Amino acid sequence: MPYRSPLLDLPGPIAAPDGHPEEGVPWHWGDPFAEQRTAARGAVVIDRSHREILAVTGEERLSWLHLVISQHVTGLADGTGTEALVLDSQGRVDTHMVVAHSGGTVWLDSDRGAMASSALPSGGKQTLREYLEAMKFWSKVDIRDVSGELALLTVLGPDADRVLDSVGVSLGADAYSVAPIPGGFARRMPWPGRHSVDLAVPRAELADWWRRLTDAGARPAGSWAFDALRVESLRPRLGLDTDERTIPHEVNWVDSAAHVAKGCYRGQETVAKVHNVGRPPRYMALLHLDGSPEITPETGDPVVLGERTVGRVGSVVQHHELGPIALALVKRSTRPGAELLVGAEDRVVQAAIDPDSVPGEAPAPGREAAQRLRG
Residue 239, phi-psi category: left (phi > 0), alpha (psi -120 to 50), beta (remainder)? left
Q: Please, are residues 132 and 54 in contact by the beta-carbon 8 Å criterion? A: yes
DSSP string, 210-264: HHHHHHTTPEEE-HHHHHHHHHHTT---TTTS--TT--GGGGT-BTTTB-SS--S
Binning pLDDT at 50, 70 and 90, where does residue 139 land?
Answer: very high
Q: Please, are residues 55 and 67 in contact by the beta-carbon 8 Å criterion? A: no
Candidate from 91-105, 219-233, 258-272 with smallest mean pLDDT: 258-272
Q: Can you give the pLDDT at residue 263?
A: 80
DSSP label at residue 30 = S
Q: Per-residue pLDDT averaged across 271-295, rounded? A: 92
Q: Measured between alpha carbons, how far apart are the two ends of the chain, in Å?
A: 65
Q: What is the 3-state secondary structure (H, E, C) of 101-163?
A: EECCEEEEEECCCCEEECCCCCCCEEEHHHHHHHCCCCCCCEEEECCCCEEEEEEECCCHHHH
365-373 vs 268-277: helix axis angle to the nearest 10? 50
Query: What is the overall mean pLDDT for the chain?
Result: 94
Binning pLDDT at 50, 70 and 90, where does residue 206 land?
Answer: very high
Task: Tell me the pTM.
Answer: 0.94
Rounded to whole angstroms, how far apart are CA atoms 16 and 21? 8
Q: Per-residue pLDDT averaged across 32-53, rounded? A: 98
pLDDT digits 0-9 by tens, 64-89: 999 999 999 999 999 999 999 999 99
Burial environment of residue 360 by CB neighbours within 10 A (0 to 12, 13 to 18, 19 or more): exposed
The pLDDT of residue 360 is above 90: no
What are the angstrom distances between the C-alpha of 259 and each of 33, 117, 123, 187, 364?
A: 37, 20, 25, 21, 15
